[in-house]
Amino acid sequence: MQKRTLGTSGLEVSAIGLGCMGMSYGLGAAGDRKEMIGVIRAAVEHGVTFFDTAEVYGPFINEELLGEALAGIRDQVVIATKFGFDIDADGRQHGLSSRPEHIKQVADASLRRLDTDRIDLFYQHRVDPDVPIEDVAGAVKDLIDAGKVGHFGLSEAGVSTIRRAHAVQPVTAVQSEYSLWWREPEAEIMPTLEELGIGFVPFSPLGKGFLTGTVDRTTPFADNDIRAHIPRFSLEAREANLALVDLLGDIAARKKATRAQIALAWLLAQKPWIVPIPGTRRLERLQENIGAAAIELTTEDLADIGTAAARIEVQGARYPEHLQRLIDR
C-alpha cells in the first residue's frame, strides 16, 4: 500500500483508509461484530493504516468495535475519531456541543472505548455555531499538549472556520464529502487546504455505494439506512444519476478495473494530499477498494472523465434538510 502525508503535518497514512461507520450505524442493522473485526484486521494485513470512526456512530459502539479490532496492533495504525454532538448515556442525541469542557470529556470517553492512550486525529464532527471555533481549537490544543491527541481535524467546515481554527491550532486534515458526484469542495475548500498545508479526507468517496454500480432503480433501503432519506437516492434521482455510473463503467472497461476503483483512483489523482476513506463490511470490497491505489489514470484518462462528467448534471441534494442545516459555510 502506498503512503501519503496529510498536508504538511507529517501525519503519514495509507493512501486509502477505511471508514468504519457503516459497520455499526447508518446502513441498516449493524454488521456481525466478529465479521467486522475480521474485516478491520484484514485491512491492516493489506496495508491500511488509517481508520475513521466517531462517538456518534452507534452511538459509541463503533469506537468500541475499532478498539477491540486493533488490540495488539495499535501502534501500527492511525485512528481518527470525532466530537461535536451532545449524546447522553443512553445514546440519545441532543444537538451539537463543542463546549471546551465537553470536548475534553468526549476525548477521555473515546480513549476508553478505543482502548488507547492517544487519539491520532481528533475531528470536530460538525461546526457548532454557539461556540467560537477559536475556543474549540484551543480545547484540542490543550489535549494535544496533554498527549491525549496527536492532530486536530475539522469535518464539513467552511473556509472561514478553517482559517480561524488553523490560526489557533494547526489543522492537519479536513474531512468532507467529495467524489465524482459531489465536487463542490473544488471551488473553495481545496484551494484553501493547499494554501495552508492541510490534508483532505473525502468521506463517501463512492457516493454511499452508488458509484460502484451496485445500486440501481430497484434497490430497496431499510428505514434505518440513511440512503432511504437522502434526496439523491430518490427513485427519480437514481434514474438520472445512473449516467455517471455508466461513465465509470466505460472507463473501468478500458482500464480493466471496476467502477469503484476508477472512482477512487480519480480522487487519488486530484492531489497528493487526498486520502479517501471508503467504507465496507465485506472483505472482497475491501480488497477491491485497496486495489484502486495501484491504478494509474493518465492525463488523457482524467481529461476524458472530466469532460464526460461535466455533461452530467447530478440530481438530488446530498442530505435531507435537517442535516443540510449542520453544514458550515
Q: Which of 25, 57, 123, 178 is catalytic?
A: 57
Q: Is 46 exposed, middle or buried (0-12, 13-18, 19+ CB in 10 A)?
A: middle
How many other C-beta atoms are found inside a 10 Å radius of the C-beta of residue 229?
15
DSSP string for residues in 190-237? HHHHHHHT-EEEEESTTTTTGGGT---TT----TTBGGGG-GGGSHHH
Cell 490543550 sits on residue: 142
Rounded CA gap, 191 and 103, in Å?
29
Distances (CA, A) of 24 to 36, 230, 274, 276, 280: 9, 19, 25, 19, 11
Distances (CA, A) of 217 to 22, 196, 276: 22, 42, 26
Rounded CA gap, 68 and 112, in Å?
11
Rounded CA gap, 14 and 154, in Å?
20
> Is 57 a known active-site residue?
yes
The amino acid at 144? I
Cα angle: 205, vertex 208, 212; to 5 degrees: 75
Q: Is the peptide bond before 129 cis (omega within 30 degrees of 0)?
A: no
Cell 427513485 sits on residue: 235
Rounded CA gap, 157 and 235, in Å?
30
Residues 6+ apart with CB under 8 A from 221: 28, 227, 228, 233
| Helical (H) or strand (E) element with 13 | strand 12-14
Contact 45, 15 (CB under 8 A): no
Instruction: Tell me the catalytic residues.
Output: 57
